[in-house]
Structure 1
Amino acid sequence: MASFGKVKDIYKKYFIYPEDITDTFAATCKLCSIEVKATKRAKTSNLKAHLASNHKKEHEELAKDLSSLKEVKEPSNTATAIQLYIRIQPSSSFTKSQQKFDKSDQRQITATRLIQDVIVENLLPLSLLESDSFKALVNYWQPRYQIPSRKHFTQKILHQSADDIVQKVKDDFAGVKSVCLTMNIWTSRQNHGFIGITAHYIKDWQMIGVMLSGKRFKGRHTGERIAGVYSEIKVSYGIPNKVIAICTDNGLNVVKAISLPEFPSNEPADEEMCEDEMDEDHDTGGDDISDEDLDAMNCVLSVTQHHIHCFCHTVQLVVGDGLKKCSKTANHVLAKVNAIINHTRNSVISSELPGSYFNFDNLMLSCNLHCRADRKVAEEIRAILQPFKAATEQVEGDYHTGGQVIPIVKLLRHHLKGLQCEYPNHHLVNALQESVEKRLVQYEHDALFILCSSLDPRFKLVWCTETKSEYGETLLKSKIEDLVTLPSP
């Protein structure tokens, strides 16, 4: 922009300025001798308005004089590398007259796709397309490339790519005989509900995982509404009759949704419903399922599709069962630990102290429990729960972990049996043993997990009793016979 000194010289043709310009001053019009007030912040606005209202001819002359001023930006002493680069380039490098790639040019299409991959895979903001440094980089790399606008990228390119990916997944599904799904419902920190569904299948002897849904789930998280969304997603991908198994958590509403007959969700989401009421159905958790409800639902599921209860979530429910039945002393110590953790998470100073990084291994030991008896109780709880933490970490992952489930259940049972000798009549140990037999025994009788463990080269049939070994061999022979008798594609 032109400096105020040059602008002031132009206005002096029509106004008389005071010698000292303060925050508020008055300039006298040479044409009509009227004083026009102005401020130090807006030095010429009122002056220009006065000419426009009372002296139109002079106002036109003023406009011409101002337009003749060239806008010159003084170089900054703290110029960035990109700004310096742009300044030293020949004008031909950045001229608009240089011929750009046509939209149909394969080089333009390929470069746009690569930029899209960078943005999507690294979760970068779309504002990158408007960044001066990004434009300078692209111009240096290929001056003929046309960077798509943010609006065009958002409304067309991303949508077209998403449609292409969905169609590719549908084509894959058309060529496979079976698909396994996982489904989860969660609430964000902004108290917004979401539903996520992933699919897993084998193509050309490779295991492939794709995400089918990750969208807002508005309204109450009832079993009927979850069943409706679940059914709609399966139908949209053409796999309603190809799903052989689905893995979910133990939430009562989710378990109910999988057991219901499939139907489209016609119940509208109540936009004005408070978020707390929307999520109350899901937040009850899986530990509210009674044995009678679980047996009844599994009877229905055995006729439709195989419902797998997430092993990691079930292990956490076992730990929760154990902690609920701890002694008063243990509950008192856990309350202290919880208070220390909450304080550290909410205090910048405390979080910077040594030993304030919390994980399972140092949680109990790093907490500042001055009482020796409290520290002993905390160390006991840590030792008892350590295998459950290891079991959870071992089974988590994007690789095949189903074969480890039954051996892990047997190891947990063996671990708790050994703790009975070390901590006789310990409330936590007794409660964990009871919960393991109640919640984890289902995996030992599940034909799917028996097959997984039997086919795992690390375990084979070593973990089996004689009866289980015979049952496992029968299952394997049955599956092999089914594969042999399948018609050729």
Structure 2
Amino acid sequence: MAPAAAQSERKRNTTNLTKHLSKIHSEVHKELQLKRAAATENPAATPTPRPRYQSTLEAAFQKGKTYPDDSPRAGNITDLIAKMICLDLQPISIVEDRGFNALMKYVDPSFKMPSRKKIKEETITHMYTAFCNEVKRTLENAESVVLTTDMWTSRSTQSYLTVTCHFVHDWQMVEYVLEANCFTEQHTAANISLALKRITDHWGITQKVAAVITDNGANVVAAVHQAGWTHYPCFAHTLNLVVKDAIKAVPEIVNLLHKCSAIVTFFHHSSKATEKLSNLQKQLDMPEHKLIHEEMNLIQPTIEALRLYEQATQEISSSKQVSMSKLHLYLKQLHLYLKHLHLYLKQRHWYL
């Protein structure tokens, strides 16, 4: 008998088959020779067989299966989806979107997307309860807190009351939004005061409130006083009022703003006018339209003054640093600049 290696070698040899084709099936042999010659001359034209991969036994069994309800991985993914909805202000209905489901199916085919009801009534509710308990534990260790509150109106013309708590924890400035609820009562000082006391009682900080910072609304200021707390006006809001009153006091600036507003309104309400303006600018190779030189003399120093107000507002509104000590410096800087601006405008007869 021939050795096993020789038998294996003969089994892999195609010489006998080639001879058989040459003698018995000459046409087939001729076609095979032509294909071999073409492949030798142009190897790129020869299709490369696609490699076949055999899945493991475990992967084959898992294909098409989903995680059980008590799976830690499925729970972690669901929690991350709920956090994404809260952090990015996404609608809860995103769990029903086809594109999001396709993405998650690709990321983890075994994960089953939870329903909107489960996300809302279970996952987010549990997260909210856990976070509230954590905030309460932190507030218990706070010696004193400062509140900032504001009443505002949404785009749907609904009134809201928002209360934010600020305090120092482990030598770090900390802030929590305690509540932002729809305010359906009349905006009287008594009603606002009751709402504020209800919120502080719920969080156990009524006796820890050192001060409350609000805008200059008479009803809100009175509400803070009725609650027995010290009130401080919001410096950023006061700056905003100063800028508005200063602009109203200069007729030239008011007229200039009216012109700008009328131009913007006209082009926003007419797509044809906007397209025509764009075409004209391209044809004439012109930059964006600018104000005439006389008006620029007024608007440039005004813009510089507004920049100072913006910078002061941003610095004072910092929630990570104590900004009270900066008030005097910014007030002095603004006063000096406005004094120079007044002289500048007076020399050019803008003030009569």
TM-score of the superposition, structure 1-length normalised? 0.51
User: How many pairs does the alignment contain?
Assistant: 283
1:377 and 2:333 matched: no
Q: Would you say the 8 A contact 2:165–2:175 is kept in 1?
A: yes
Q: Which residue of the partner structure matches residue 121 of structure 2?
A: 155
Q: Which residue of the partner structure matches residue 165 of structure 1?
A: 131
Q: Distance in 2 between matches of 1:136 and 1:420?
A: 63
Q: Distance in 2 between matches of 1:402 and 1:182?
A: 14
Q: Would you say the 8 A contact 1:325–1:427 is kept in 2?
A: no
| Structure 1 residue 227, shift from structure 2 partner | 1.3
| Structure 1 residue 232, shift from structure 2 partner | 0.8
**Cα 1:234–1:409 shift into 2, 3 Å:** same
SS at match of 1:177: coil
| Structure 1 residue 151, shift from structure 2 partner | 1.1
Q: Distance in 2 between matches of 1:414 and 1:213?
A: 40
Q: Which residue of the partner structure matches residue 338 of structure 1?
A: 261
Q: Distance in 1 between matches of 2:172 and 2:310?
A: 30
Q: Which residue of the partner structure matches residue 239 of structure 1?
A: 205
**Correspondence for 2:83 among 114, 117, 121:** 117
**Cα 1:208–1:389 shift into 2, 3 Å:** closer
| Structure 1 residue 158, shift from structure 2 partner | 1.3
**Correspondence for 2:186 among 213, 216, 220:** 220
Q: Which residue of the partner structure matches residue 241 of structure 2?
A: 317
| Structure 1 residue 212, shift from structure 2 partner | 0.7
Q: Distance in 2 between matches of 1:225 and 1:429?
A: 46
Aligned 1:30-429 pairs, distance under 5 A: 95=64, 98=65, 100-103=67-70, 105-260=71-226, 262=227, 304-326=228-250, 328-348=251-271, 369-370=291-292, 372-400=293-321, 401-424=323-346
Q: Which residue of the partner structure matches residue 8 of structure 1?
A: none
1:334 corresponds to which letter in structure 2? L
Q: Would you say the 8 A contact 1:243–1:305 is kept in 2?
A: yes
Q: Distance in 2 between matches of 1:177 and 1:171?
A: 13
Gaps of 5+ in 2: 1-58, 279-287
**Cα 1:161–1:330 shift into 2, 3 Å:** closer
| Structure 1 residue 233, shift from structure 2 partner | 0.7
Q: Would you say the 8 A contact 1:138–1:145 is kept in 2?
A: yes
Larger radius of gyration: 2
User: More helix by proportion, 1 or 2?
Assistant: 2
Q: Distance in 2 between matches of 1:318 and 1:128?
A: 44
Gaps of 5+ in 1: 1-89, 263-303, 355-365, 431-489
Q: Would you say the 8 A contact 1:312–1:392 is kept in 2?
A: yes
Q: Distance in 2 between matches of 1:186 and 1:140?
A: 43
Q: Would you say the 8 A contact 2:301–2:341 is kept in 1?
A: no
Q: Distance in 2 between matches of 1:312 and 1:99?
A: 54
2:217 corresponds to which letter in structure 1? G
1:102 corresponds to which letter in structure 2? D
What is the percentage of aligned positions where both structures have the same residue? 29
TM-score of the superposition, structure 2-length normalised? 0.69
SS at match of 2:129: helix
| Structure 1 residue 305, shift from structure 2 partner | 3.1
Q: Which residue of the partner structure matches residue 72 of structure 1?
A: none
SS at match of 2:157: coil
SS at match of 1:198: strand
| Structure 1 residue 429, shift from structure 2 partner | 8.5
1:118 corresponds to which letter in structure 2? M
Q: Distance in 1 between matches of 2:164 and 2:273?
A: 40
Q: Would you say the 8 A contact 1:340–1:367 is kept in 2?
A: no
SS at match of 1:129: helix
Q: Alignment RMSD, CA only?
A: 3.1
Q: Would you say the 8 A contact 2:66–2:112 is kept in 1?
A: no
Q: Distance in 2 between matches of 1:117 and 1:421?
A: 55
Q: Which residue of the partner structure matches residue 54 of structure 2?
A: none
Q: Which residue of the partner structure matches residue 80 of structure 1?
A: none
Q: Distance in 1 between matches of 2:99 and 2:290?
A: 49
SS at match of 1:336: helix
| Structure 1 residue 257, shift from structure 2 partner | 1.3
Post-superposition Cα deviations, 1:16-39, rounded to whole Å, max 9, x if no partner, equal xxxxxxxxxxxxxxxxxxxxxxxx
Q: Distance in 2 between matches of 1:197 and 1:413?
A: 32
1:313 corresponds to which letter in structure 2? H
* Greater relative contact order structure (CA < 8 Å, 6+ sep): 2
| Structure 1 residue 412, shift from structure 2 partner | 1.0
SS at match of 2:206: coil
**Cα 1:321–1:373 shift into 2, 3 Å:** same
Post-superposition Cα deviations, 1:127-170, rounded to whole Å, max 9, x if no partner, equal 22223444444444444444321111112221121111111111
